[in-house]
């Protein structure tokens, strides 16, 4: 059950451990401001899933200084990836966004840039900007898909249909330079069976993508999902069930696809359920243990 982890991938590219630091570009989302919808996806927090991002009131340079100070105790590497994480980071004035990307890349310790966005929010001009960046540095574009099932997507208010995602992946895959596509998937939506979730992973494995982030559904305070959960609690996967199923799904991931994340990582202050994700180290260790057990049973070498 071998797979390529983010750490392995970065080390292959840069020759050493690299740490991603979360930045705030000051963006919003068309699914919040009324362009596509209001309220956003029902699981998305008020910070746009960027609880760990730096203060948006600071300049990008100041955010980088602050973020690097926060991680210096646990990260000895002096190479960083600037991660524009929260909300939709290609949504807004393209020249202003370009200037923020370039400000981050002006830091000599920043070796690449990761941009989280929606597939319906990359304009023609933004594609050109991304290609210019990819010719100079490493660029990762992270697209929030979550599921291929339209009924689920409508339930959580995604705001776009699957063909939009497919067209965006195809256009991004044609960009010249060092650009990689990462797709976000969430497991455990109410009403989705394990076969449906497996279909989403299989679908992703047939796309021209280079990475995937897999997370279990987290219920965070202040979200529409939290209101639904508190009114009528729905079942969430328990830790051992989730890990066992995750290991099944890893077998479905195309071997060259980098697995950047394997569990949810919600802010502990806002996490309502499932509570087991609070202990991130314990969950990671348990995943590694289960994978190693499977490798031994299958007679294949385990590679963490």
- 146 backbone φψ class: left, alpha, beta (φ>0; ψ -120 to 50): left
Per CATH, the number for 4-298 is 3.80.30.30
Per-residue model confidence (pLDDT) at position 295: 82
Q: Pick from 80, 76, 52: which is nearest to 64 by CA?
A: 80
Q: Residue 247 and residue 166: Cα distance in Å, rounded? A: 26
Q: Residue 250 and residue 259: Cα distance in Å, rounded? A: 9
The phi, psi pair for 255, rounded to 5°, reads -55, -30
In this predicted structure, the answer to whether residue 47 has a pLDDT above a threshold of 70 is no
Per-residue model confidence (pLDDT) at position 299: 64
pTM for the model stands at 0.94
Give the mean pLDDT of 43-72: 80
Question: Is the peptide bond prior to 274 cis by the omega test (within 30 degrees of 0)?
Answer: yes
| Local confidence band at 205 (pLDDT 50, 70, 90 cut-offs) | very high
In this predicted structure, the answer to whether residue 160 has a pLDDT above a threshold of 60 is yes
Q: Pick from 180, 284, 291: which is nearest to 244 by CA?
A: 291
Q: Pick from 26, 96, 111, 101: which is nearest to 61 by CA?
A: 101
Cβ–Cβ < 8 Å for 176, 207: no
Per-residue model confidence (pLDDT) at position 243: 97
In the block, which residue shows the tokens 């499977």?
294
Per-residue model confidence (pLDDT) at position 51: 53
SS3 65: helix
Q: Pick from 29, 104, 36, 122: which is nearest to 68 by CA?
A: 104
């Amino acid at each position: 059950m071998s797979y390529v982890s983010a750490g392995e991938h970065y080390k292959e590219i840069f020759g050493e451990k690299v740490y991603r630091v979360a930045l705030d570009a000051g963006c919003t989302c068309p699914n919040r401001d009324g362009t596509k919808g209001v309220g956003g996806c029902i699981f998305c927090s008020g910070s746009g899933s960027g609880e760990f991002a730096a203060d948006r009131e600071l300049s990008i340079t100041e955010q980088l200084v602050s973020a690097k100070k926060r991680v210096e105790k646990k990260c000895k590497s002096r190479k960083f990836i600037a991660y524009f994480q929260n909300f939709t980071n290609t949504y807004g004035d393209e020249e202003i966004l370009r200037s923020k990307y370039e400000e981050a890349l002006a830091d000599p310790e920043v070796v690449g840039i990761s941009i989280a966005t929606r597939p319906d929010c990359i304009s023609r001009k933004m594609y050109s900007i991304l290609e210019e960046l990819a010719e100079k540095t490493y660029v990762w574009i992270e697209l929030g898909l979550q599921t291929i099932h339209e009924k689920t997507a409508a339930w959580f208010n995604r705001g776009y249909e699957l063909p939009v995602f497919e067209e965006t992946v195809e256009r991004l895959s044609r960009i010249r330079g060092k650009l990689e596509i990462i797709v976000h998937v969430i497991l455990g939506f109410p009403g989705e069976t394990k076969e449906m979730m497996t279909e989403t992973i299989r679908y992703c494995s047939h796309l021209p993508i280079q990475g995937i982030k897999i997370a279990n559904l987290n219920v965070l305070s202040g979200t529409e999902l939290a209101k639904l959960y508190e009114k009528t609690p729905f079942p969430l996967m328990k830790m051992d069930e989730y890990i066992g199923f995750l290991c099944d799904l890893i077998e479905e991931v195309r071997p060259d696809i980098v697995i950047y994340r394997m569990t949810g990582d919600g802010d502990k202050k806002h996490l309502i359920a499932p509570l087991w994700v609070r202990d991130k180290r314990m969950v990671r260790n348990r995943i590694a243990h289960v994978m190693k057990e499977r490798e031994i049973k299958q007679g294949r070498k385990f590679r963490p």
